[in-house]
Structure 1
Amino acid sequence: MLASFLTGFAVSIGLIVAIGAQNAWVLSRSLRGEHRWVLALVCAGVDAVLIVTGVFGLDRVQQWLPALVPVLTWLGVGLLLYLAAQSLLRAWQGTSGLVASSAVAATGAWVLAGQALAISLLNPHVYLDTVVLIGSVGAQQPAPGWYALGAALASLSWFSALAGLGRYLQQWLRSPWHWRCFDAVIGLVMVLVAVSLLM
């Protein structure tokens, strides 16, 4: 059981930690203090559902996904380019740094949760990582339930770390120049991921 749990944690963390649009977007929202724990729970919850689906139903899902992949790819590219344009526009026009305060965030928790669901579910890479790669390894484990638990816990740990990291970077990002650079990097990462999906 422990071996399967640790294998699930290791495989999952190795795939999830890779820099991608979802991670960059969650970190940028966390830095702004916009309901960061809601985002962490939504993203980790989506991963958990997809991991369990992959571990326990990979054969059936592989029959469904081929028809969905082209549609999901184009929707994902469109969403990534939209979010990238927002980040790059902020980088171009930005005149102020991060202001940490206890004020209510500009975007509501439900809206951000919906955006987190969209950026997670419209990203074809998430299905490749969670359902296909993590799921295929899990289906071969002696204790697939423990494997799935370890993989889901790795996702929760990672997104919680992104959410918690925001407050430590706030001081550095009070500088307008640093914040604009951060927005530019986030935008470019999203563009690169969108281009990689097309290629």
Structure 2
Amino acid sequence: MDADTREALEQRIQLATPEDQVSGLFCENAYLAIREMLGRDLADSVRASTWPLRPWASFQRYPVAELLRMMGTAADLAEKQGLMSYPQALEEIGGWVTRITQGTPFSRAAHLAVGNEPHERLALSQASARVLVTYGERKYEREGPTHSRLLYKRELMGPSFLLGAYVVIAQSIPGVHITVTLGPCLEPGMNFQLHCSW
């Protein structure tokens, strides 16, 4: 699998259990990302058609399947409008969610604590997912002084979203140019790797 597809995202929605949840902060940031991509009116329309109309509470948890439906609908609209392909739209949402999340006081404090060493920052980002989601296994592997690998098992957000997120994380580390690429990825995009080099 080279890029995310509608079919892969639909399969991940079907495989998600009620215990697979994401924080309200993550949901709100995804909505804001969709608004950046599509504009407020379309983003509101996407939300109204895919999500129960209730406010998100930052530290409450919500079913990841609902978030995936919202993101999939937004990616469909972006493609239909000729803005970008379906996987590019998911990647774009991942990037925006990460930009917004990095602006939070918690993220800024964590970055100050570990400094700008690429391995430390990338490993911290991988570990901090536990604050936002209840599912999946994530592992950071240092492959050399300037190479690392991020391994995902049962990652419901999928490869495009995470690729977009880690491109933004890499860009935020000053003094180094980090390339992030998608490695082996098995259908339906729940088990995959990202490779980072600088």
Q: Name the one with the larger helix percent.
A: 1
Larger relative contact order (CA 8 Å, sep ≥ 6) = 1
Higher strand share: 2
* TM score, norm. by length of structure 1: 0.28
